[in-house]
């Protein structure tokens, strides 16, 4: 039994050491579509997001890098239509704990700046609002190594806080999200 534990520990350490000094490239793509039928009409909502990341694994368990997100949503309520474009740019630090050569768990701590543009269409007329702010969040996840550092990332939510301050004396928004078990994300990543 002791020999098995020593072999398992060496396998885990050799896997972790093989990743040190590598570049991590990864990200997520998301799409959501929802249609709601009412007695007087229909409401359609579509959302798309793209979130790439690039980092450098400077230690067996630690990676630091940059992240970027572009998201767009459209909410069509017949006469009224709402469009939102959001972009985020920041940095992240990741702590990874290998469980075996196939599975690892990690947590990403990301923080940065964000901006948002909202357009509210009523017929041919529209109003526009812009906002800037910051974000910070922690997301735990599972990594499945498919082949030579290429794999899938799975997460089920996280913890985040963000702010938005709208132009032209608009509102200041502060949001705290605790959404463990409420979302499910799949992404890919590759260590080079």
Sign of the torsion angle spanned by Cα atoms 15, 17, 21, 26? positive
User: What does the pLDDT look like over 58-107, one tens digit per residue?
Assistant: 988 999 999 999 999 999 887 788 999 999 999 999 999 999 989 999 99
H or E segment and range at residue 160: strand 159-166
Measure CA of the first residue to CA of the last residue in the chain; give whole Å: 35
Strand partners, 135: 112, 162
Q: Identify the CA nearest to 86 among candidates 122, 123, 135, 45.
A: 135
Mean pLDDT in residue range 141-163: 90
Contact in structure between 95 and 136 (CB atoms under 8 Å): no
Lookup: tokens for 115: 């901006």
> For the chain, where are the alpha helices, taking DSSP H only?
2-19
> Distance (Å, rounded) from C-alpha 64 to C-alpha 54?
8
Distance CA 80, CA 67 (A): 34
Dihedral angle sign, alpha carbons of residues 153, 155, 158, 162? positive
Confidence of residue 19 (pLDDT cuts 50, 70, 90): low
Average pLDDT in the 159-178 region? Answer: 92
């Amino acid at each position: 039994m002791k020999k098995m534990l020593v072999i398992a520990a060496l396998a885990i350490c050799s896997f972790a050491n093989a990743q040190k000094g590598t570049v991590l490239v990864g990200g997520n793509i998301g799409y959501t579509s929802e249609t709601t039928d009412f007695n007087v009409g229909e409401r359609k909502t579509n959302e798309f997001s793209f979130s790439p990341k690039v980092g450098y694994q400077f230690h067996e368990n630690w990676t630091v890098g940059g992240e970027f997100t572009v998201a767009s949503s459209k909410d069509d309520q017949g006469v009224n239509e709402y469009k939102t474009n959001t972009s985020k740019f920041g940095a992240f630090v990741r702590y990874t704990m290998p469980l075996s050569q196939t599975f690892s768990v990690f947590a990403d701590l990301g923080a940065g700046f964000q901006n948002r543009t909202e357009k509210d269409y009523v017929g041919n007329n529209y109003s526009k609002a812009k906002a800037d702010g910051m974000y910070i969040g922690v997301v735990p996840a599972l990594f499945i190594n498919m082949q030579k550092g290429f794999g899938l990332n799975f997460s089920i939510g996280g913890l985040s806080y963000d702010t938005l301050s709208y132009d032209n004396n608009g509102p200041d928004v502060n949001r705290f999200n605790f959404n463990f078990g409420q979302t499910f994300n799949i992404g890919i990543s590759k260590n080079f």
